[in-house]
Amino acid sequence: MKNIYGVTYLELENYFLEKNDKKFKATQVFDWVYKKRINSFDEMRNVSKETINTMKSDFYFEKLEIIDKREDTDVAKYLFKLKDKEKVEAVLMYHDYGTSICISTQVGCNMGCKFCESGRLKKVRNLEVYEMVSQILMVEEDINMRISHIVLMGIGEPFDNYDNVIKFIDIVNCGKGIDIGSRHITVSTCGIVPKIKEFTNYDKQVNLAISLHAPNNKIRDSIMNINKVYKIEDIIDVVKEYINKTNRRVTFEYIMLKNINDSVSCAEELSALLKGLNCYVNLIPYNETSHIEYKKSDKDTILKFYDILKKNNIGVTIRREFGSKVNAACGQLRSHYEEV
């Protein structure tokens, strides 16, 4: 038995073909499940009883349970309980251009970034495809509104759960279903180079963001364990390959950590590193968390850093701060519940 929310459109077409049935039934089923949002096979009024009975023996409907919701201006944070009682979170943000949701891809994370709350609690398991799709469906149901943008920046490392993440993107992007445009979907990775390489060949125009957070290996080594495996040069090389192949602009995320990576010389070094690349830098004011000693950079320091990148012709934005009151930093709400 498979959860229906974990099945891609192509898989469903193949399912019907294998049953010697018509593949257009996949269109009907996706329409009921994702356009009309029904919750059981019996509601599929234009599908034959026979097909419904067959499907009932192979698939089931089940979403997650919302166990907490916290709201602040323009932001809502959801905590979900999974079947095995594990918890993950998603953050909904309201912008002038629409609504975005930041979803989790794993329970915990093994990447061990020193500043990150999610990594404090080690990875328990990957999320199943349906568990990622459910986060979207349940939040849309809760707000009674469609979400326009998805970022895979919640708990977990998407490229450490690559196959499920790709299936998830296939499902939410499918025009017969949820239909969120690929340009409205962003995957963020701490820099797993072989997976970035693989992603270079992915045929959808999904955005790629890379958590760089440092202009050199010395600083990066001290805050991100992954840098012991894949160095900054390896990342830049694979990003060049990605840009050449896809013609797409890459985002580099850069958390501003007080006295760690926020100096003038860091800004100059970062500018030199990224010079000529089709990219931009998203400066992220660090969301402080009680368990971790890093502090966020002062506003003036962030602005100075921004100006230096600008002056060096590097595209740069400063991320708007959301929801520090609702524990919106990656992994904070879950960690609050798993208090150790």
User: What is the phi-psi region of residue 135: left when phi exceeds 0, alpha when psi lies from -120 to 50, beta otherwise?
Assistant: alpha
Among 100, 134, 173, 287, binds ligand SAH (CB under 6 A): 287
The yes or no reply on residue 227 touching ligand SAH (CB under 6 A) is no
Provide the CB-side half-sphere exposure for 91 (13 A, CA).
26
The stretch near ligand SAH (CB under 6 A) out of 13-21, 110-118, 130-138, 228-236 is 110-118
- Residue 196 and residue 159 in contact, taking contact as beta carbons nearer than 8 Å: yes
Q: How far is the CB of 180 from ligand SAH (least distance, A)?
A: 18
The stretch near ligand SAH (CB under 6 A) out of 56-64, 75-83, 185-193, 308-316 is 185-193
Residues 40-59 interacting with ligand SAH (rule: CB under 6 A): none
Q: How far is the CB of 123 from ligand SAH (least distance, A)?
A: 11
User: What is the phi-psi region of residue 156: left when phi exceeds 0, alpha when psi lies from -120 to 50, beta otherwise?
Assistant: left
The yes or no reply on residue 190 touching ligand SAH (CB under 6 A) is yes
Is-catalytic flag, 174? no
Among 99, 161, 186, 188, binds ligand SAH (CB under 6 A): 188
DSSP string, 248-297: -PEEEEEEEBTTTT-SHHHHHHHHHHHTTSSEEEEEEE----TT----BP
How wide is the angle at C-alpha 246 spanned by C-alphas 244 and 251, nearest 5°?
A: 90
Place of tokens 């009932």: 56
Give the x/- contact pattern for ligand SAH in 115-134, rule: CB under 6 A. xxx-----------------
State the residues that interact with ligand SAH by CB under 6 A.
111, 113, 115-117, 153, 157, 188-190, 211, 253, 255, 284, 286-287, 289, 329-330
